[in-house]
Amino acid sequence: MNPNTVILVQESWKKVAPIAPQAAALFYQNLFTADPSLKVLFKGDMVEQGKKLMQMIGAAVSKLEDLETLVPILQSLAVRHVAYGVKDSHYQTVGGALLKTLEQGLGTEFTPEVKEAWTTVYNLMAEVMISASAAQA
């Protein structure tokens, strides 16, 4: 991956990490506004779920230069997501909600370059997860 993409994503994530609980809440708000039918898939405590999501994004962001480690983690995450009832098309909705959340959290620091870098990184993660889901089905 382009080193500049990695730096833009890692540096912008550092600014979101201190407001992780609020960012997680905003993310679910954005997600359920985009597609209210996704609500039924989430059966656990949403605060806990939000924590796990933010930790996982943080872990993925820190491993962008170590794809050999990251890819198998995403593949097993994807297999669990098939069991949660997640479909391929949901990845696009989640990506949209994530970008919107970053925009809300970062404000003017969510520059077009930062947006592009996150789009690249999210698309890569989603592609790995969708391929692993297909292998599982």
To ligand HEM, the closest distance from the beta carbon of 108 in angstroms equals 26
Q: Is the dihedral of CA 61, 33, 48, 105 positive or negative?
A: positive
Q: Collapsing DSSP states into helix, strand and coil, what is residue 132? A: helix
4 vs 55, beta carbon nearer ligand HEM = 55
To ligand HEM, the closest distance from the beta carbon of 112 in angstroms equals 22
Burial class (CB in 10 A: 0-12, 13-18, 19+), 61: buried
22 vs 49, beta carbon nearer ligand HEM = 49
Closest CA to 25 of 2, 1, 54, 4: 54
To ligand HEM, the closest distance from the beta carbon of 45 in angstroms equals 8
4 vs 84, beta carbon nearer ligand HEM = 84
Give the interface with ligand HEM as residue ranges (CB under 6 A). 38, 41-44, 49, 52-53, 56-57, 77, 80-81, 84, 86, 90-91, 94, 125-126, 129
To ligand HEM, the closest distance from the beta carbon of 98 in angstroms equals 8
- Token pair 């889901």 is found at 133
- Token pair 């912008």 is found at 12
Closest CA to 17 of 56, 46, 45: 56
36 vs 107, beta carbon nearer ligand HEM = 36
